Structure 1
Amino acid sequence: MAPSALLAIWLLAGIALGAAGTAMARAYALHRRLIDLPGERRSHRIATPRGGGISTVLVLLLALAALAIARPGTLPACLLAGAGLALVAGIGWIDDHRPLPAWPRLAVHAVAGGLLAAALWMQGGGPPDLVVACVATVVLVNVWNFMDGIDGIAAGQALVVALAWSLYAGAGPVLWIGLALTAALVGFLPFNFPRARIFLGDVGSGAIGYALAALLALGVMGEPTCARLPWILPLLPFLLDASLTLISRMVAGEAWWRPHVQHAYQAWSRALGAHAPVTLAYAGAAVVASVAMFVVRSGSSTLIMSTCLTFLLAGGLAWKRLRGRRAGIDTDSLTDGKR
């Protein structure tokens, strides 16, 4: 079969499974009363079912199984990576049914990062690659959970990142797993944007974060430090908002691990009284950063460093300006979203 035809089948199957799985997850959530209710630490006004991201988990696990079959030498690594994904998704699924404390969830994320590191080691990864796998897992799983707060933003951002990295890699596991994640999110998004009928839930946001960590670790494996930096660019809109907000809450002495509505994207959505423009703006920022990733690909280390620094400074200034809009705005004026 021609590679283009195989790619088309891969994408269509992922989209179909993503959509069907989300529809079934919504029916299940309504039946089990897995509902996010509005509140002062939520960014929505309408009670909405959660857990729709289980469809993404299904697609990713099937993609790993297909990769292991197509490339038998990757079977042990796929099993380890799949086990890590199952752990992250499993603890998220439990949390969606019965909220858990932060520390047990973080411990599971760390174990999943170790499993991903072991998978990379079996594929020839060195110590720096194993560190990237562990750190990226804990960071991105939690960043995607923190940033899953208004309609479509977490799924839309992940879709841009996964597609950009797939095209950037051009071949190998990053291409196929990245496209599987992209397809799953294309199937999910009509249920979540522009008006959410179901949320990802912790099962979905965690699985997406883990999948992105795996793609990042695979993509930069064996590369010199400067060649790794462009891969970070598409992540910056989420990384900056999540990290700067977290730091500001720590400095203020707040309980930073608790749900809140203090991210820049939440402040902006309150100021606008709508979610869609903010979700699209963040996706647009990720697209611009992804284009920059391709532009600097063959550039000098000076060009790469200066580009990354420019995006960091611009993102930091945007975060400060947008987050300042939270003052004097009533959280009850929010439209529907997650939290």
Structure 2
Amino acid sequence: MSLVAAIDWIRVLPWLAVVAAMAATGAWLARRHALRHGLLDQPGERRSHAVPTPRGGGIGIAVAWAMACIASGLAGVLPGPLALAAVCGVVLVGSAGYVDDHRPLSPWWRLAAHVAAGAALAAGLVAAGAAPWLAPLALVGAPVMVNVWNFMDGIDGLATTQAALAALAFALLAASPLAALPALALAAACLGFLPFNFPRARIFLGDVGSGVLGFALTVLAALLVLEGGALGGPGLLPVLFLPVSAFLIDAALTLGGRIVRRERWWTAHVGHAYQRLAAGIGSHVPVTAAYGVWTLAAIALACAANGQGLTARMAAAGSCGAVGALAWRIITSHWPLPDRKCP
């Protein structure tokens, strides 16, 4: 019986409902605040929406998941240093995003906050007795994932559904409550926010939300490695790649192309595969759904590979990466850069 099946759902479900309610309440309050103060993302040539839309709704997810980490630490599920590191990282990434949602903040200041969050996570892992190689990986991985989720947050529902699915996958892969309960809490927070953002966005995540999602997923991945198990440690990394492969492949190949073309890669654009698809189809919904189908298939592959040896895990991750790269190439070759916005 898997860990998820063994969880005492009678006790856990009310807690997850509270987390979802906190995220939903935060989104509702953020929408009122944004409308009152004119914090609207305007349509433009570097955006994929057609009407002015409030931003910053992801603050509800940030607060809800931070509170879940505090509760997990107090309950002894998370070691104290890791709970503190997770909350500090959310505050650092979320604060930088919140400021940027209200007024433009230098990308270098934002990056500094992201690196500081990675350093906090690395320090928490060292204090928790993690393997020496995990701390530097977290230090680099946190700002990478924060920015990947920021880059890929461009159409309705995409970043939130992908984070929710990845969190559920990490819960399925978990061997102890250490990773499973924080993962379920993140999925619940995403589901609480999702009705405000899909199928038609009434408010966007904003940098405060997308950044925190990327950081939270980094924390969950680190927790999965920390809890060990068969072929734990570095051998788990190919499996952890699979649930987030859709975003990593699209972001890496698009960013790499912009760097090769000597474009200002850190600025907003509409060159990602998902943006081209949304503009070509004329709707965000089928693209978000298609990415969801990919991720569900990748999760099934991750669960199957997790019980295998390192060679099988590497083969699963490699085949996923190759197919994803081919799909990205086909999409970006057949769908030009969008010259119109989706409703």
Q: TM-score, normalized by length of structure 2?
A: 0.94
CA contact (8 A) 1:166 1:175 kept: yes
Matches for 1:183-194 after TM superposition, within 5 Å: 183-194=188-199
Residue aligning to 2:4: none
- Distance in 2 of aligned mates of 1:140 and 1:264: 18
Of 141-150 and 171-180, deviating more is: 171-180
SS at match of 1:162: helix
Match of 1:102 in 2: 107
Equivalent residue letter for 1:188: F
Q: Indicate the larger mover: 67-76 or 188-197.
A: 67-76
Distance 2:211 2:163 in 1: 12
Q: Name the residue aligned to 1:279.
A: 288
Instruction: Tell me the equivalent position of 2:272.
Output: 263
Aligned to 2:43: 38
| Alignment of structure 1 residues 209-228 onto 2, 5 Å | 209-221=214-226, 223-228=232-237
- Whether the aligned pair in 1 keeps the contact of 2:78 and 2:178 (CA below 8 Å) is no
How far does residue 17 in structure 1 lie from its aligned partner after superposition?
A: 1.4
Letter in 2 for 1:115: A
Instruction: Name whichever of 201-210 and 118-127 sits farther off.
Output: 118-127
Asked if 1:158 is matched to 2:167, the reply is no
For 1:204 and 1:301, the matched residues in 2 are separated by: 34
Structure 2 CA distance for aligned equivalents of residues 139 and 10 of structure 1: 30
Residue of structure 1 in register with 2:33 after alignment = 28
Give yes or no for contact 1:43–1:331 (8 Å, CA) kept in 2: no
Percent of counterpart pairs with the same letter?
43
Correspondence for 1:312 among 316, 321, 335: 321
- 1:127 is paired with a residue whose SS is coil
- Quick one: higher RCO (CA 8 Å, sep 6+), 1 or 2? 1
Any conservation in 2 of the 1:192–1:199 contact (CA below 8 Å)?
yes
Separation in 2 of the partners of 1:330 and 1:142?
A: 22
How far off is 1:226 after superposition? 2.1
Contact 2:27 2:59 (8 Å CA) reproduced: yes
Q: Give the Cα–Cα distance (whole angstroms) in 2 for the partners of residues 302 and 80 of structure 1.
A: 33
Which of 204, 209, 218 aligns to 1:204? It is: 209
> 1:233 and 2:242 equivalent?
yes
Whether the aligned pair in 1 keeps the contact of 2:275 and 2:338 (CA below 8 Å) is no
> Aligned-pair distance for 1:330?
4.7
* 1-structure distance, mates of 2:70, 2:90: 13
For 1:302 and 1:127, how far apart are their aligned partners in 2? 24
- Offset at 1:170? 4.5
Q: Which amino acid aligns with 2:319?
A: T
Q: Which runs of 5+ in 2 are unaligned?
A: 1-6
1:169 lines up with 2:174 in the alignment: yes
2:26 matched to 1:17?
no
Distance in 2, matches of 1:287 and 1:330, equals 27
- How far residue 148 of structure 1 moved from its aligned partner, in angstroms, is 0.1
Within a 5 Å distance, the mapping from 1:123-142 to structure 2 comes to 123-142=128-147
1:53 aligned partner: 58
RMSD: 1.4
State the shift of 1:326 in Å. 3.5
Is the contact made by 1:35 and 1:49 (CA closer than 8 Å) also made in structure 2? yes
Task: Give the conservation status (yes or no) of the 8 Å contact 2:149–2:159.
Answer: yes
Q: Provide the residue aligned with 1:331 in structure 2.
A: 339
CA drift of 1:331 comes to: 2.3
Match of 2:308 among 296, 299, 303: 299
> Does 74-83 or 242-251 show the bigger shift?
74-83
CA contact (8 A) 1:271 1:325 kept: no
Q: Secondary structure at the match of 2:264?
A: coil
Distance 1:46 1:206, change over 3 A: same
Which whole-Å deviations, capped at 9, do the CAs of 1:285-307 have from their partners, x for residues lacking one? 11110110110111122211111
> Cα deviation per residue 1:180-202 (whole Å; 9 max; x = unaligned)?
11111111111100100000000
Residues 48 and 303 of structure 1, relative CA distance in 2, 3 Å threshold: same
For residue 130 of structure 2, give the secondary structure of its aligned residue in structure 1.
Answer: coil
Q: How many angstroms apart in 2 are the aligned matches of 1:36 and 1:135?
A: 30
Give the match for residue 3 of structure 2: none
The separation in 2 between residues aligned to 1:143 and 1:25, in whole angstroms, is 23
TM-score (norm 1): 0.95
How far residue 211 of structure 1 moved from its aligned partner, in angstroms, is: 0.3
1:11 Cα shift? Answer: 1.6
Question: Secondary structure at the residue paired with 2:133?
Answer: helix
Query: The residue matched to 2:270 in structure 1 has which SS?
Result: coil
Q: Secondary structure of the residue that 1:261 maps to in structure 2? A: coil
1:10-69 Cα distance to aligned partner (Å, 9 max, x none): 221112112111111111111111100000001000000000000001111111111121
